[in-house]
């Protein structure tokens, strides 16, 4: 059974006809040439397929493309353009989270990295909105120490085990974007 | 995956009629469990009815501090709602202890309680499972038992309900608002989920086509002093081995009232009424907490299996309840 959908992917309007069984991940990778989201487990257990839909981080492998008609989807590839469009970045620059991952050498094989980067962008936005995590105590504003970053990023697995550099990269990016107001414990 | 039709109706009543009229139809909420099941072949619907945008997505204030949570509210938004964090901390904590940031953004209030067991045999279509294929047998009994039930199971099924949110809602005496082809009804949350008995294929009392539209949290001052504690095989992003949702009212070292529910131990979120009876009127002390756990766990029947069985859950749950209540009592005395 086919369905016609229109969505914006990394700023560009795209129209396509999809089989209703197609996931957003497969539509992006196989139909639209957007290959930065990766197929890791394909069952929502690894986070490699993370994209932003409507500004929120979601798993594209557990999202049917047909439910995304009219959606604004941003992949790791489109993060700099999305930030530039908001006036937060000069054209041609990397997104601060991408820059921090390079600075901190926050990957080994790199397969999980686009999902990690998109997830970190979504996570920092959630943090800036004051959303708590499972390790946040009470209702005071938390600081982005190691425990907070690890908990908030726990949906992104790295089989190389590069967490020792991913956590500092996320903390550096939080500091670089001027968020959150509550401050960042870089050594935390 | 078998082909299916997809519809996204304009309103909830149309969605209900579409599903009620077609025995092969299913609702699609956040999709975090259903889309996985489509891939695995656990369900093979002929029609998928999308609910995005059809259900209320606000937390509405009711009289006296009660809240009505629209079924379309995401798990992440609900966990972050300042009213929920202040009046019902156990619910916010339970939500945040489940899944990951990405999944909580997708998962909905109506869908979370209806997610299905993560029993590995249920999810593997090559193995017998009475819940997936009634009458085919249970592979979990005598198999891998670590994640299975110790309370309320049957010879047909030892699966557990995986939701953390549901454990908190069971403790909070929440009520579920349901829309069906014949109109609306409200059911107590503790009556939503079934024990397996001889029909483990039925997780809940909902009829085909019935749709959760909202969940009400009654005003209850005791809920302000509440907590959720979850024990699992890794620190985050894993299902519970056991979990405890608890709310207590303690005055001068005496427990005036308590609400207790367990997760990870039964086919339904397990409201621990026997434990509550022991707690009410007793001294707020470790001995009381252990006695309360023992009263509830007297009915526990561990499953034997290749991995040594799951009797470990009995002392684990006793200690988890004790630790949860000890922390709440300390909070109370501050």
Measure A131 CA to nearest chain B CA, in Å: 5
DSSP-derived letter for residue B320 is H
Are residues B125 and B41 in contact, defined by beta-carbon separation less than 8 angstroms? yes
For residue A56, what is the nearest residue in chain B, using CA coordinates? B105
Nearest to B222 by CA among B60, B95, B88, B94: B88
Tell me which chain B residues have a C-beta less than 8 angstroms from the C-beta of A47.
100, 102
What structural domains and CATH numbers belong to chain A?
Answer: 2-78 (3.10.20.30), 94-176 (1.10.150.120)
Tell me which chain A residues have a C-beta less than 8 angstroms from the C-beta of B85.
132, 139
Mean pLDDT of B158-170: 98
DSSP-derived letter for residue B302 is P
> β-pairing, B25-28 with B47-50?
parallel
**Assigned domain for B281 exists:** yes
Closest partner CB to B39 (pick from A42, A69, A150): A42
Residues B280, B119: Cα–Cα separation, whole Å: 35
Positive/negative CA dihedral, A35, A39, A45, A48: negative
For residue A116, what is the nearest residue in chain B, using CA coordinates? B102
Tokens 């968020």, residue? A179
DSSP-derived letter for residue B110 is T
pLDDT tens for A57-116 read 999 999 999 999 999 999 999 999 999 988 888 888 999 999 999 999 999 999 999 999
The predicted structure's pLDDT at residue B316: 98
- Across A49-68, b (16+ Cβ under 10 Å) vs e yields bbbbbeebbbbbbbbbbbbb
Residues B58, B252: Cα–Cα separation, whole Å: 39
The predicted structure's pLDDT at residue B269: 98
Q: Which residues contact residue B183 at a Cβ distance below 8 angstroms, ignoring those fewer than 6 apart? A: none
The predicted structure's pLDDT at residue B333: 59
The predicted structure's pLDDT at residue A183: 45
Mean pLDDT of B72-92: 98
Mean pLDDT of chain B: 97
DSSP-derived letter for residue B167 is H
CATH number of the domain at B262, please.
Answer: 3.30.390.50
Biggest CA–CA distance in chain B, Å, is: 63
**Assigned domain for B172 exists:** no
Residue spans of beta strands (DSSP E) within chain B:
5-7, 25-28, 47-50, 59-61, 67-70, 175-180, 183-188, 211-217, 226-231, 242-251, 254-263, 270-271
For residue A58, what is the nearest residue in chain B, using CA coordinates? B102
**Assigned domain for B97 exists:** no
The predicted structure's pLDDT at residue A97: 97
CA angle A71, A72, A78 (to 5 degrees): 150
Mean pLDDT of B225-235: 97
The interaxial angle of helices A163-176 and A96-103, nearest 10 deg, is 140
pLDDT at B182 over 70: yes
pLDDT tens for B189-200 read 999 999 999 999
The predicted structure's pLDDT at residue B252: 96
**Assigned domain for B16 exists:** yes
**Residues of chain B with a CB closer than 8 angstroms to some CB in chain A:** 1, 3-6, 8, 28, 31-32, 35-36, 38-40, 48, 50, 52, 76, 79-80, 82, 85-86, 92-93, 96-97, 99-103, 105-106, 235-237
A56 confidence band (pLDDT: 50, 70, 90): very high
Closest partner CB to A62 (pick from B35, B97, B235): B35
Mean pLDDT of B271-299: 98
CATH number of the domain at B16, please.
Answer: 3.30.43
The predicted structure's pLDDT at residue B331: 83
Count of domains for chain B: 2
The predicted structure's pLDDT at residue A141: 76
**Assigned domain for B170 exists:** no
pLDDT at B221 over 50: yes
pLDDT at A180 over 70: no
Mean pLDDT of A118-132: 97
B12 confidence band (pLDDT: 50, 70, 90): very high
Report the SS3 class of residue B275. helix
The predicted structure's pLDDT at residue B332: 62
The predicted structure's pLDDT at residue A186: 44
Q: pTM for this structure? A: 0.97
> Is A67–B39 a contact, with Cβ atoms under 8 angstroms apart?
no
Mean pLDDT of B72-87: 98
A140 confidence band (pLDDT: 50, 70, 90): confident
pLDDT at B185 over 50: yes
Domain carrying residue B302: 222-333
pLDDT tens for A7-41 read 999 999 999 999 999 999 999 999 999 999 999 99
Mean pLDDT of B283-296: 98
| DSSP class per residue in chain A | -EEEEEEEETTEEEEEEEETT-BHHHIIIIIS---SS--SSSSSSS-TTEEEETTEEEEGGGSBGGGGTT-EEE-GGGHHHHHHHTTSS-TTPPPHHHHHHHHTT--SS-TTHHHHHHHHHHHHHHHHTT---TT--TTSPP---HHHHHHHTTT---TT-THHHHHHHHHHHHHHTT--TT---TT-
The predicted structure's pLDDT at residue A91: 80
Is A125 near chain B, with CB under 8 Å? no
Residues A145, A180: Cα–Cα separation, whole Å: 12
Report the SS3 class of residue B16. helix
Tell me which chain A residues have a C-beta less than 8 angstroms from the C-beta of B106.
58-59, 62-63
The ipTM (two decimal places) reads: 0.97
Is A38 near chain B, with CB under 8 Å? no
Instruction: Report CA dihedral (B82, B83, B86, B89) to the nearest 10 degrees.
Output: -90
**Assigned domain for B73 exists:** no
The predicted structure's pLDDT at residue A137: 84
**Assigned domain for B128 exists:** no
């Amino acid at each position: 059974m086919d369905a016609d959908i229109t969505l914006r992917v990394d700023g560009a309007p795209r129209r396509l006809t999809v089989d209703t069984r197609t996931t957003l991940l497969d539509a992006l990778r196989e139909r639209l040439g957007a290959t930065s989201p990766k197929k890791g487990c394909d069952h929502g257990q690894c986070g490699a397929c993370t994209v932003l839909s409507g500004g929120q981080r979601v798993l594209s492998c557990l999202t049917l493309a047909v439910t995304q008609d009219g959606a604004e989807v941003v992949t790791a590839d489109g993060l700099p353009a999305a930030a530039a469009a908001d006036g937060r970045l000069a054209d041609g620059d990397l997104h601060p989270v991408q820059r921090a991952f390079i600075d901190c050498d926050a990957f080994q094989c790199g397969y999980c990295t686009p999902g990690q980067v998109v997830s970190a962008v979504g996570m920092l936005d959630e943090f800036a909105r004051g959303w708590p995590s499972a390790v946040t105590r009470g209702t005071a504003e938390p600081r982005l120490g190691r425990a907070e970053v690890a908990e908030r990023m726990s949906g992104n697995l790295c089989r190389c085990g590069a967490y020792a550099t991913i956590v500092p990269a996320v903390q550096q990016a939080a500091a670089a974007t001027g968020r959150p107001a509550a401050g960042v414990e870089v050594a935390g | 995956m078998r082909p299916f039709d997809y519809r996204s109706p304009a309103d909830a009543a149309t969605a209900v009629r579409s599903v009620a009229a077609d025995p092969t139809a299913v609702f699609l909420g956040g999709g975090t469990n259903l889309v996985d099941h489509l891939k695995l072949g656990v369900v093979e619907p002929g029609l998928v009815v999308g609910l995005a945008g059809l259900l209320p997505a606000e937390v509405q204030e009711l009289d006296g501090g009660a809240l009505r949570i629209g079924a379309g509210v995401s798990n992440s938004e609900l966990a972050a709602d300042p009213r929920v964090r202040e009046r019902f901390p156990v619910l916010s904590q339970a939500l945040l202890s489940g899944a990951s940031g990405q999944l909580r953004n997708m998962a909905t209030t109506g869908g979370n309680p209806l997610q299905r067991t993560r029993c590995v045999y249920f999810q593997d279509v090559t193995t017998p499972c009475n819940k997936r294929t009634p009458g085919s047998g249970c592979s979990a009994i005598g198999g891998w038992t670590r994640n299975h039930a110790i309370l309320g199971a049957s010879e047909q099924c030892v699966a557990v309900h995986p939701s953390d949110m549901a454990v908190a809602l069971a403790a909070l005496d929440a009520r579920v608002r349901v829309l069906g082809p014949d109109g609306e009804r409200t059911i107590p949350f503790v009556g939503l989920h079934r024990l397996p008995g001889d029909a483990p294929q039925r997780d809940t009392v909902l009829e085909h086509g019935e749709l959760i539209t909202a969940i009400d949290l009654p005003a209850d001052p005791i809920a302000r002093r509440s907590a959720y504690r979850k024990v699992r095989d890794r620190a985050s992003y894993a299902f519970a081995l056991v979990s405890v949702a608890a709310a207590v009212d303690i005055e001068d070292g005496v427990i005036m009232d308590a609400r207790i529910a367990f997760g990870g131990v039964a086919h339904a979120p397990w409201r621990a009424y026997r434990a509550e009876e022991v707690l009410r009127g007793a001294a707020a002390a470790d001995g009381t907490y252990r006695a309360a756990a023992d009263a509830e766990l007297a009915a526990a029947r561990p499953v034997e299996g290749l991995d040594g069985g799951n009797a470990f859950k009995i002392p684990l749950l006793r200690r988890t309840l004790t630790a949860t209540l000890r922390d709440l009592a300390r909070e109370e005395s501050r």
